[in-house]
Structure 1
Amino acid sequence: MEAIAELLARAGVDGRRPRAVLAALGEGRWWTLADLVRETATARRTVEALLRETDLERSGDRFRLRAPLPGLTGATGREGAPADPVAHLLADHAPLVARMDELIVRAPRGRHTLDHVSATAETVVRRALLLEARFWLDGARLLCVGDHDLTSLAAAALHPGLEVTVVDVDERILGYIAERADLLGLPVRTRWADLRLGLPASARSWADLAITDPPYTPEGVGLFVARAAEGLRDREQGRILLAYGASERTPALALKVQQALSQLNLLSEAIYPDFNRYLGAEAIGSAADLYVLRPTTKTWPALSRQAARADGLNAAIYTQGPQAVESAASAEPVTAPGGSPEVLVGDWPKEVLPRTPRARLSTWLAKPYASDPGEVAIAVPAGLEAALPRLLLATRARRVQVTLAAPPASLPAEPLSSVYELTAEGRTVHAVRLPLPETDEARILRRILDNAHGKVANTWREALIGVRGDLTKKQARAVVSAVAPWADDVTVLELPAGRLGQLGEAVARSLSAPVAAG
């Protein structure tokens, strides 16, 4: 007990966390380390230090006290923790919690290189409940900036009048959310984006509220929150909800994150401690605070500065993998491209073809290039490989040479193979543009893909009118909406891979789809 008393004394006024651990142990139930960390929102190292000083009975990975510890009553328990503003509402939504639990279990496994850790089903439902309790949601729009947690599905299920858009870099998550939303009849749109390269056009100035659970580096939090702000259409009343957690042992890291938020000139209206709970992230107690942030008039000028810091090789935002902050300085240098490119896209060394025009990766994806180059060279840094299909579709060049950080494991398939013949040579991918196809279906698909910066529905409509010849613009648009309702207000470059894969079949159906009377 002396060692425990010393640990508690060392904790000082923050001693409720270790006392909550001891109180939980005193309940006599069996625990796993992960469950005890999550239940008490206490860093794993703190929990382990306490466990080393207690007499435990073990069964596999579970444990409990052999005998009660004296003095673990009253104020030593967890009843003194800050109140959860919506905990009292959760019991009335048990069916939604059960549904979300099933959806989370079936969802694609998290990727450590993207700092994925799943929130619990109770957490995502409580997020939705807080939105409802704090804001007026009738006719409102919610932008989920990254959504491995599936908050989009919980929010849309709880609030029938809420429109939701999900922006994410993980194709698997986007495909899963789109599939589940379609099956459940939920108004959830999905958009592909690597936030280091910008927010999708259809998500900019779109939302009234935004929510994000970003990588917990200062760079990651700053970037994701900045993109969330770019997504707000209501610059006066819009809000951003941020999930961010740090161990009680690392206050300096939390300070750096708050400094990143301060650089965006955001007002912290509220911070709910330990609101979010996770199936993992034990280093931070499997918990994160929930911030409610409000932009100010000084926020908007700060966004462009944040975007400039995120572009290109400086876009290290994760804690693990090739785009971890610690890995940014070890990138292999880019060598001169072959051929005679008319444009260099990406972060090429200054000494490489110094007189050749250059474009940022983000600019390349955001808008068509001013001229119509026949040959292009693109440099893609480690961690941005998922952007390869979009970078190729963003140009109509006859030849494109892409230099990657490492040899590709595979080359992109449909629908990119409808546009380019692709070959790989070491770290370099060569793309040679194919001639126009001959069938009506293939020509419409190719026209859509060739106009990758334009809205899919608009290009499709005009191409369909040219082929069928019996449709007005209104009728053609109705046909497109009927066969592909997800094609409205989106560009090819924003469509997730799953939707891109459905384009060919949807185009085929549009050629014979009936026209509504009137």
Structure 2
Amino acid sequence: MAYGFSHRQPALGLHVQQAVQGLHMAYEAILPHFNRYLGAQAVGSAADWYVCRPTARTWRSLERAGHEAAHIYTHGARSVEAAGGELHDEVARRVLEIADAGETVLVGAGWPDAGTGALGRVGLARLLSDGLPAAHARRERLTVVVNLSDDPGGRLLRALLAANAARVVALVPNRHPDLADQASQAALQELVAAKYRLRFRRSTPDSRHAVVEASAVDPGSLDDVERVRNRMLHRAHGKVGNVWRDALVRGSQGHPGRPVPTKNEAREIVRRSASRPDTLSAGLVEFGRHDVAAVLTDVAGSVAVPADGTAARA
């Protein structure tokens, strides 16, 4: 985000930084005078560029802030007032027809109050920060239907990471970045390939929306690397280091002739295989997609690394 303040009024800058801190976002960079303007003399015709990363607590904080912020001064297509959360009845009905499942959980705002037959409702912030409630997550034939109709681009991948279900049906803008072209669709599919097979329905149920259907893959059909990735993608809220370690141990079980590493041995394999050690202490759901891709690439090398470290990391 861009924000500028006069060097004579540092309290204004502090106020904004405190607001960001209240959203539980971590600062990755503040680039002074990154944005330049013709005009805006009150802030020296420039604004600093803030690069922030959300944490698991950010989603709940944003949900509260969204309810509390009744108005903002802009009224464009991206504004709080314009976004809303309600779905047109016909749009909601068509999405639920596509879901076509008896055991359904509705995620996000805007779903009709009656006649859906859903097992329950979960806030989008709750799904992204904590996953599905245990009572729902244990159902084998569960379909999760998510309203992401105002997603600017970052929530679809996180929803696919956070929701563990037989199917996920997500309503997104028809111009969503992950659906922009075949390459964008293939890139998203590659990230979640060990967990879901995706189907993209452009201009469905109308010209403003699209539907992304995700169907769970059978772990028995996966190779050794993909099985480890499958376990990690199903535990996207857990610390990557711990989930990766446990996935290596479990992935070696049931294979005759393959030694099963102890937890300590698996932890050492993870330590040697991680290209960025700082990624081991957070959950995949908190990462940007480039970091998710990097971790999944590192996983491929770790599966081939013996516990004694005699082989180089792939």
Q: Normalised by the size of structure 1, how large is the TM-score? A: 0.42
1:309 aligns with 2:65: yes
| 2:199 aligned residue | 423
* 2:241 aligned with 1:474: no
Instruction: Indicate if the aligned counterparts of 2:194 and 2:222 stay in contact, CA closer than 8 A.
Output: no
AA partner of residue 440 (structure 1): D
Helix, strand or coil for the counterpart of 1:385? coil
* SS of residue paired to 1:469: coil
Partner of 1:267: none
Q: State the SS of the aligned residue for 2:23.
A: helix
Instruction: Provide Cα deviations, 1:226-281, integer angstroms capped at 9, x if missing partner.
Output: 214x87xxxxxxxx9xx9xxxxxxxxxxxxxxxxxxxxxxxxxxxxxxx9534324
5+ residue gaps, structure 2: 49-59, 205-209, 253-257, 310-314
Instruction: Choose 1 or 2 for highest CA Rg.
Output: 1
1:315 Cα offset (Å): 9.7
Contact 1:118 1:280 in 2 (8 A): no
The Cα of 1:364 is off from its aligned counterpart by 0.5
Secondary structure in 2 aligned to 1:493? helix
- Equivalent pairs: percent with the same residue? 25
Question: In structure 2, how many angstroms separate the alpha carbons of the residues matched to 1:305 and 1:462?
Answer: 31
Contact persistence 1:419–1:449 (CA under 8 A): yes
Distance 1:330 1:360 in 2: 12
Per-residue deviation, residues 399-435 of structure 1 (Å, max 9, x unmatched): 1111123354253232212222211222211111111
The separation in 1 between residues aligned to 2:73 and 2:160, in whole angstroms, is 25
CA distance in 2, matches of 1:316, 1:474: 53
- Contact 1:403–1:428 under 8 Å retained in 2: yes
Matched, 1:323 2:84: no
Tell me: CA distance 1:462–1:404, structure 2 relative to 1, closer, same or farther (3 Å): same
* Distance across 2 between alignment mates of 1:383 and 1:474: 41
> Residue 56 of structure 2 aligns with which residue?
none
Query: Is the aligned partner of 1:444 residue 2:228?
Result: yes
Counterpart of 2:282 in structure 1 is 490
CA distance in 1, matches of 2:125, 2:259: 38
Quote the offset at 1:487 in angstroms.
3.3
**Structure 2 partner of 1:397:** 165
State the one-letter code of the partner of 1:403. L
1:463-512, CA deviations, whole angstroms, 9 ceiling, x for partnerless residues? 21231635322221121122112431111211221122123331121123
CA distance in 1, matches of 2:15, 2:270: 35
Q: Which residue is 2:113 aligned to? A: 351
Q: Secondary structure at the match of 1:358?
A: strand
Q: 2:104 aligns with which of 326, 342, 345?
A: 342
**Judging changes above 3 Å, is the alpha-carbon distance between structure 1 residues 428 and 305 closer, same or farther for their aligned structure 2 residues?**
closer
* Contact 1:311–1:362 (8 Å) recurs in 2: no
1:355 deviates by 5.5
> Is the counterpart of residue 224 in structure 1 residue 8 in structure 2?
no
1:368 aligns with 2:131: yes
Partners of 1:516 and 1:393 in 2: how far apart?
Answer: 32
C-alpha change, 1:213 and 1:116, in structure 2 (3 Å) is farther
Tell me, yes or no, if the aligned pair for 2:189 and 2:197 is still in contact at 8 Å.
Answer: no
Partner residue in 2 for 1:432: 215
Correspondence list, 1:376-395, <5 A: 376-395=144-163
- Shift of the alpha carbon at 1:441? 1.0
> What is the root-mean-square deviation in Å for CA atoms of aligned residues?
4.0
| CA displacement at 1:352 relative to structure 2 | 5.0
Do the aligned partners of 1:212 and 1:224 also contact (CA within 8 Å) in 2?
no
Shift of residue 328, structure 1, vs aligned partner? 3.1
TM-score, normalising length: structure 2: 0.65
Give the structure 1 partner of residue 35 of structure 2: 279
Q: Note the residue ranges of structure 1 that are not aligned, 5 or more in a row.
A: 1-114, 124-129, 131-210, 215-220, 232-239, 244-274, 290-303
Mapped to 1, the partners of 2:62 and 2:223 lie a distance apart of: 46
Name the SS of the counterpart of 2:190 in structure 1. Answer: coil
Aligned ranges 1:22-61 → 2 under 5 Å = none
- How far off its partner does 1:439 sit? 1.6
Shift of 1:347: 0.5
